[in-house]
Structure 1
Amino acid sequence: MMDETQTARDPLPRIEPRSPADHLAGACAAASSPARATVRELQFLAQVELRVNEEDEQAAARMAGEFLGCELPPPGRVTGRGSPYALWCGPGWYLIVDPNATGRGLHTALSTALGGEYGSLCGSVVDVSAQRAILELSGPAARDVLAHGCTLDLHPRAFGPGDYAQTLLAKATVGIHQTAETDDGPVYRLLVRSSFTDYLVRWLLDATEWCTPVD
């Protein structure tokens, strides 16, 4: 017979979340140089994919636009500033990113905005926050660092703030989003699959060492 005075088990220890490049934070800090380029990970940004059929796109764009406070982006562009913002990934395919929300919270909020609270969703909404890491590359040599690893035309006349493109960088599939052009050089956000993050960060750090900004 079980002893009713048996003590309760100790609670399981809390497991702290770790981002895909968390183990490289020290290396990023050591190798980054304001005179050349700085690499850092933007941790735990909520990411939700929105996919809509052609016949639903107009209604979905209107509902999602009300949620975002701006229209969904056209091809190759990003709309929204700060929290949240949307990136065009393909026909009827958008990535919504929110630095100030959880993936679950963003998923719920966008689903509700698209009619999920009252009936069928006007589109597909999926939390993909764990699918990608988001890296930030900035500094005078940032454009040169990227140019050494991809064929995308990154000249300011061709690619500037608010532009977004998916391409290969050092043989890894990435999304490149230029967020700003400052006196200290361009600022980019690189979206890469979590499984390729370690490889890409190490490549960026290596490229940063030998890239010197051109006056």
Structure 2
Amino acid sequence: MADTALTARPRSPLAHAAGWLADATRSSRGAVRLAELPFLTQLDVRLDAKGPAADAVGLALGLQLPLEPNTVVRAGDLTALWLGPDEWLLVGPPGSERDLESSVREAAGDEPVSVTDVSAQRTTLLVAGERARDLLAHGCSLDLHPRAFAPGRCAQTTLGRTQVVLVSRDEPRAGFWVLVRSSFAGYLTDWLLDAATEYV
């Protein structure tokens, strides 16, 4: 009898572009660093921000869900992005979606909560380097100056006509995460590589 078990490893939406991203990074000599961060766990969580579930979930996760619009809270390898008054995106290491979802649901108890695994829906691009803000500004209408979009901020916006979630990372020189739908990841990568040509 044939073995029908799936043994193939998952393939990231940008596996074909890894070499191009690395070449652009090398050529820019530190001006721009581009890479895919594939398979990050991404859970969309909705609950009452003023209800008891919000505090319980925060305690269970070891971080307080951000309540200020367009802000990010990070603890260890878990990041929470504010997407709306009752909506957050939890971003964690690859493969942690089941444990993370279980933690949220158990902490919420009988309180109304929605937890949706959207990990396969998006991939994440890292855009870093001393000209990262300039590169992103080519195709984003947000004011990306550090005074307006400081580390620890996030926004749902468009980049190169593509819907993204843009995150200004809070570690020194960490740059930006660009969370993009997998079906648009190739297009956006081509756009970024083209826009980066003036720095390479």
Both proteins in one fold, TM over 0.5: yes
Query: Which residue among 38, 43, 52 is the counterpart of 1:43?
Result: 38
* Alpha-carbon distance in structure 1 between the residues aligned to 2:177 and 2:132: 11
1:193 and 1:138, CA in 2 relative to 1: closer, same or farther beyond 3 A? same
Residues 1:201 and 2:186 aligned together: no
Q: Is the 8 A contact 2:80 2:90 kept in 1?
A: yes
Shift of 1:10: 4.3
Equivalent of 1:139 in 129, 136, 150: 129
Contact 1:135 1:189 in 2 (8 A): yes
How many angstroms does 1:140 deviate by?
1.0
AA in 1 matched with 2:142: L
Q: Residue 151 of structure 2 aligns to which amino acid in structure 1?
A: P
Change (3 A) 1:166 1:11: closer
Aligned residue in 2 for 1:77: 71
Name the CA shift for 1:134/1:82 in 2 (closer, same or farther; >3 Å).
farther
Cα offset, 1:12, TM superposition: 4.6
> How has the CA–CA distance of structure 1 residues 16 and 121 changed in structure 2, closer, same or farther, with 3 Å as cutoff?
farther
Structure 2: where are the runs of 5+ without partners? Answer: none
Aligned-residue CA RMSD in angstroms?
1.9
Q: 1:9 is matched with which residue: 2, 26, 33?
A: 2
Cα displacement (A) at 1:105: 2.6
In the alignment, which residue of structure 2 is the partner of 1:5? none
Shift of 1:69: 1.7
Deviation beyond 6 Å, 4+ runs, structure 1: none
- For 1:155, what is the secondary structure of its paired residue? coil
Q: CA deviation at 1:49?
A: 0.6
Q: Is the 8 A contact 2:53 2:107 kept in 1?
A: no
- Structure exhibiting the larger radius of gyration computed from Cα positions: 1
Whether the 8 Å CA contact 1:142–1:186 is kept in 2: the answer is: no
Native 8 Å contact 2:53 2:111 kept in 1 = no
Q: 2:114 aligns with which of 103, 124, 129?
A: 124
CA distance in 2, matches of 1:17, 1:72: 31
How far apart, CA to CA, are the structure 1 residues paired with 2:3 and 2:167?
Answer: 47
Give the drift of 1:65.
1.0
What count of residue pairs does the alignment treat as equivalent?
197
Within 1, Cα distance between the matches of 2:102 and 2:12?
A: 22
Counterpart amino acid of residue 27 in structure 1: W
Distance 1:111 1:209 in 2: 46
Contact 2:63 2:75 in 1 (8 A): no
Matched-pair contact (CA < 8 Å) for 1:87–1:94: yes
**Residue 188 of structure 1: aligned partner:** 176
Q: TM-score, normalised by structure 1?
A: 0.84
